[in-house]
Copies of this chain bind each other. A is one copy, B any other.
Amino acid sequence: MMKKYDKLERNAIGRMVPTIINGREHVPFQGVGKFRPTGRKAAPLIATCADYPDDGNKLVESLREALVKSGLKDGMTISTHHHFRNGDLIANQIFDIAHDLGVRDLRWYPSASFPCHEHLIKYLEDGTINRIEGSMNGPLGKFCSEGNMKGMGVLRSHGGRYQAVQDGDVHIDVAVIAAPTADAFGNANGVDGPAACGLLGFALADSQYADRVIVVTDNLVPFPCIPWQIHGNYVDYTVKVDQVGIPEKIISGTTRITKSPDRLLMAEMTAEFCDQAGIIKDGFSYQAGAGGTALSIGNYFADLMRERGVKARFIRAGSNKYPVQMLEEGLVDYILDGQTFDLEGVRSMRENPGHINTSPFTSYNYHGKGNFSTMVDVVILGATEVDVNFNANVVTHSDGYLLHGMGGWQNCLFSKCTILPIPLFRDRIPVIKDEVTTICGPGELIDVIVTERGIAINPLRKDLIEKLKNTDLPVKTIEELKDEAEKICGVPPKPELDDELVAVIKWVDGTIIDAVRKVKTS
């Protein structure tokens, strides 16, 4: 049996990481912007129209038939996207079919997995699936953390996932793209249909580079399906099913404005910080995630903008009703959207020409000729832990469990100002530590930590320190914040971890920034 990992090396941020993972060589993290790719992009096989139906009708009877025609066999890589989030109905079916066909040792390469995919644990146990390379939110993360996954988990950011496919680090054998609307040729979009989820950008790389591409829809329209967020010219087979996703479940549980007084305080302080740093001005841009605090910051921004008569050029989103309201109110020219977090986002993307469909290629791919992430003036992100060097963790909890994916988090760190509003402690466990359990983002890219009891500016950002030197905001050092938390809660215990590794965290350039250790479960 293939070793899960081998040949550990210390990387540029001081972490011991394996350089052989699931039988393949990987490069340890070398520092931000230090690794230089030398090769050429992946080169898909040249197709010919002679092999595809003249009438454009690529419909086959069932997902099973499409998978069989795609040559599904042992050891293949199957990809899916997560635009339906916890409402996905297709990924589980793929592996039910694979199991039924007796296919084994598959690599599942989702753009993220959710609690709805807990169904797949039995296939991870029986060997149908060897491993998941992708975010593991919830039960699958727990399964991996406890050392139960046969292969090694590999976590990539949204941009890193595109990079890995583009660069040929991950070869997708069969991509299955669940689409709210499609034509029989395979043109597809996420804005129309009963299960509309907004867009399909996470499946772009899959469509471009996979050997076989299957589009599954419950809303088949006559050619041409407009808009064609996915081009049928990349698609091999189309399948009509009764239902591809549950649209209500694309809503993230965190897309509601926070009501917690502490979080509202952090939101207000963050907005105030941005204002005093001179960020809120005509033509500025920002990205705020879908968490309650981030949403609340967006509302503070909107208030400031109305007050000043200032207009933003664009909001990078994860959209929901709040940025949509700002777009409709004329507070911003464009929403550059990577995924919709609620049905208002879907509606707006369908109706509003200023609500723009983006993809990890345009927004996040580090192995492109630039991407959009560096052009965002300020980005507000979360973290599970931060260390005194501003390194941050977004995937493991303080007990060591791997329960979150990274999404676009790493990619967003490249903005002009990255702010993490985080509570000083959670469940009486301080969030700022000497050392985070898992490094997902190097401290040099994290500019500001905002807690309910004070703000720490990264000493590297002398410009921000200068701008805030006369502030009435409680600016402190990160050590001061850490001490304050420890005075209240004590020094947090280290998580009980095994030496065995269960997963690795990729940096945006495909190098290994950290490894995740098995949690002791005895």
Binding site for B on A (CB under 8 A): 33-56, 58, 166-167, 185-186, 213, 222-224, 226, 228, 231-236, 283, 313-314, 334, 336, 353-354, 356, 361-362, 365-372, 374-375, 414, 416, 509
B residues within 8 A CB of A356?
Answer: 224, 226
Top 5 A-B residue pairs of the complex, sorted by shortest distance between their CB atoms = A40-B43, A52-B370, A43-B43, A33-B50, A37-B46
Q: Is the CB of A49 within 8 A of B368?
A: yes
> In the docked arrangement, what's the CA distance between A469 and B34, Å?
74
Q: DSSP class of A's interface residues: helix, strand, loop or mixed?
A: loop
Q: Is the CB of A367 within 8 A of B47?
A: yes
> In the docked arrangement, what's the CA distance between A100 and B172, Å?
48
Write the nearest CB–CB distance from A230 to chain B, whole angstroms.
11
Q: Is the CB of B224 within 8 A of A369?
A: no
Q: Is the CB of A36 within 8 A of B48?
A: yes
> In the docked arrangement, what's the CA distance between A58 and B366, Å?
16
B residues within 8 A CB of A226?
Answer: 334, 353-354, 356
Given contacts A235-B369, A361-B233, contact A167 B56 (CB under 8 A): no
Number of copies: 2
- Which of A43, A166, A353, A369 gathers most chain B CB within 10 Å? A369
Q: Is the CB of B231 within 8 A of A362?
A: yes
B residues within 8 A CB of A39?
Answer: 45-46
> In the docked arrangement, what's the CA distance between A371 and B231, Å?
10
Q: Is the CB of A361 within 8 A of B231?
A: yes
Closest to A336 in B: B224
Q: Is the CB of B41 within 8 A of A37?
A: no
20 CB < 8 A contacts A-B: A35-B48, A37-B46, A39-B46, A40-B45, A41-B44, A46-B167, A49-B367, A51-B369, A54-B416, A56-B375, A185-B370, A185-B375, A222-B283, A223-B372, A224-B313, A224-B334, A226-B334, A231-B361, A232-B369, A236-B369
Question: What 18 new A-B contacts, CB under 8 Å, besides A233-B361, A234-B369?
Answer: A39-B45, A40-B46, A47-B367, A47-B368, A54-B375, A54-B416, A55-B375, A56-B374, A56-B375, A213-B369, A222-B283, A223-B313, A224-B314, A224-B356, A228-B362, A232-B370, A233-B369, A235-B369
Q: Is the CB of A370 within 8 A of B56?
A: yes
Closest to A163 in B: B46
